[in-house]
């Protein structure tokens, strides 16, 4: 039996499965542990199951001490982990790929449809009692058929978003380091994708190279009729620059599920009609969250049981 910290509540029976084999220290509070609490509770642990909002950096790894063997992230993105430092200490890091691909791709399409058909704006108007009735040219949106969906990032979620595009009659282009060779999808360098996409959807992980990939310059190069969609990590977009571009109508709109400083949202975005904002719901279905929790726990059980991790981060 080893000691394992779970940094936030997990759904389903996953914690019970872990507790059948290990001594579980579960933080069941609504809010994430503070930096200090996290470090205190990490001390002497063999494993940590870390949820969004938890940062396992060099200091946290040092706080855990030499007992730490596995850091199991309950997310596919792992910009919250110092994977290189963990590896240098022989600690295995894992994430939860695949199980959240479809849920995140579905939410991406919900955002694409929501912003192009002005659903947020329409609902706000209706609830405010300001709707005067059906009108032939009332609240017209933008159609998708024949337009170009630009996917930034050649990974699983980008692919799942691309594969759904046929249902809406869209053409698809992808930019990534290498041509992912997705059927029917044109490989384009980012410099060409940005000015030609009608919908630009971001699916790259957050790394030093992708931080503020969409900045003022990129936004000014987009079509004035284009929409930006972000379901990856907030900091891939310069939020201040985006608020400015939306205010100036340099692009038609944006739909965001992620923010640079969650749960804060750039105050200028909150007052704009041409942006749809959701509170980081990409993988938020009961089925997907259960599968993510199960996969993270399986990784801990495997590594602490002396077996290879199921989904190690390499």
E strand residue ranges, the chain: 3-6, 23-26, 47-50, 70-73, 92-94, 148-152, 171-175, 186-187, 199-202, 227-230, 253-256, 275-277
- Collapse the DSSP code of 163 into the 3-class scheme (helix H, G, I; strand E, B; otherwise coil) and give the result: helix
| Smallest distance, ligand GLV to C-beta of residue 283, A | 5
Among 33, 38, 75, 228, binds ligand GLV (CB under 6 A): 75
80 vs 175 by CB, closer to ligand GLV: 80
CB of 52 to ligand GLV, least distance (A): 6
The C-alpha atoms of residue 192 and residue 222 are separated, in whole angstroms, by 10
Which stretch in 30-38, 73-81, 189-197, 242-250 sits in contact with ligand GLV by CB under 6 A? 73-81
Question: Given 171, 203, 266, 280, which residue is catalytic?
Answer: 280
Q: Which of 24, 46, 76, 93 binds ligand GLV (CB under 6 A)?
A: 76
Of the pair 251, 292, the CB lying nearest ligand GLV is at 292
State which residue, 246 or 293, has the beta carbon closest to ligand GLV: 293
Instruction: Identify which range of 69-77, 140-148, 156-164, 194-202 contacts ligand GLV by CB under 6 A.
Output: 69-77
- Residue 222 contacts ligand GLV per CB under 6 A: no
According to DSSP, residue 142 is labeled -
CB of 25 to ligand GLV, least distance (A): 23
Q: How many residues bind ligand GLV (CB under 6 A)?
A: 6
Q: Closer CB to ligand GLV, residue 9 or residue 307?
A: 9
Q: Is 71 in the site for ligand GLV (CB under 6 A)?
A: no
DSSP 200-257: EEE-PPP-TTTTTSB-HHHHHHS-TT-EEEE-S-GGGB-HHHHHHHHHTTSSSEEEES
The piece of 12-20, 57-65, 70-78, 271-279 that touches ligand GLV (CB under 6 A) is 70-78
Residue 93 binding ligand GLV, by CB under 6 A: no
> Per the residue annotation, which of 262, 264, 273, 287 is the catalytic one?
262
Question: What's the rounded Cα separation, in Å, for the pair 39 and 56?
Answer: 9
Q: How far apart are CA 6 and CA 50, in angstroms?
A: 6
Joined together, the tokens standing for residue 50 give 């870390």
- Is 233 noted as a catalytic residue in this protein? yes
Q: Are strands 47-50 and 3-6 parallel, antiparallel or unpaired?
A: parallel
User: Active site includes 17?
Assistant: no
**Burial code of 262-301, b = ≥16 C-beta within 10 A, e = fewer?**
eeebbeebeebebbbbbebebbebeebbbbbbbbbbbbbb
Among 282, 291, 297, 300, binds ligand GLV (CB under 6 A): 282
d(CA 163, CA 78): 25
How far apart CA 168 and CA 156 sit, in angstroms, is: 20
Q: Which of 22, 171, 203, 233 is catalytic?
A: 233
By the rule CB under 6 A, 77 interacts with ligand GLV: yes
Q: How far is the CB of 182 from ligand GLV (least distance, A)?
A: 21
The reply on whether position 228 binds ligand GLV by CB under 6 A is no
* Residues in touch with ligand GLV (CB under 6 A): 75-77, 100, 282-283
Q: Which residues are catalytically annotated? A: 233, 262, 280
């Amino acid at each position: 039996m080893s000691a394992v910290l779970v940094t936030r509540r997990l759904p389903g029976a996953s914690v019970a499965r872990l507790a059948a084999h290990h001594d579980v220290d579960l933080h069941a509070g609504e809010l994430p542990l503070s930096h200090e609490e996290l470090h205190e509770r990490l001390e002497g642990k063999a494993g940590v199951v870390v949820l969004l909002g938890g940062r396992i950096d060099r200091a946290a790894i040092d706080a855990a001490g030499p007992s730490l063997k596995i850091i199991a992230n309950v997310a596919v993105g792992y910009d919250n982990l110092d994977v290189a430092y963990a590896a240098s200490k022989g600690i295995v890091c894992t994430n939860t790929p695949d199980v959240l691909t479809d849920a995140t791709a579905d939410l991406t399409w919900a955002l694409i449809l929501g912003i192009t058909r002005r659903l947020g704006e329409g609902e706000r108007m209706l609830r405010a009692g300001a709707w005067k009735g059906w009108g032939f040219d009332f609240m017209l949106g933008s159609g998708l058929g024949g337009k170009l969906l630009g996917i930034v990032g050649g990974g699983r979620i980008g692919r799942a978003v691309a594969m759904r595009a046929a249902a809406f009659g869209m053409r698809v282009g992808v930019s990534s380091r290498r041509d992912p060779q997705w059927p029917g999808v044109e490989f384009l360098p980012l410099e060409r994708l940005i000015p030609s996409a009608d919908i630009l959807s971001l699916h790259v992980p957050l790394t030093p190279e992708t931080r503020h990939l969409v900045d003022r310059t990129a936004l000014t190069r987009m079509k004035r009729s284009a929409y930006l969609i972000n379901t990856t990590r907030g900091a891939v977009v310069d939020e201040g620059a985006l608020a400015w571009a939306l205010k100036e109508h340099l692009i038609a709109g944006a739909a965001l599920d992620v923010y640079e400083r969650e749960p804060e949202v750039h105050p200028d975005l909150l007052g704009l009609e041409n942006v749809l904002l959701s509170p980081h719901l990409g993988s938020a279905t009961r089925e997907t969250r259960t599968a993510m929790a199960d996969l993270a726990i399986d990784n801990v059980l495997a590594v602490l049981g002396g077996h290879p991790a199921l989904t190690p981060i390499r």
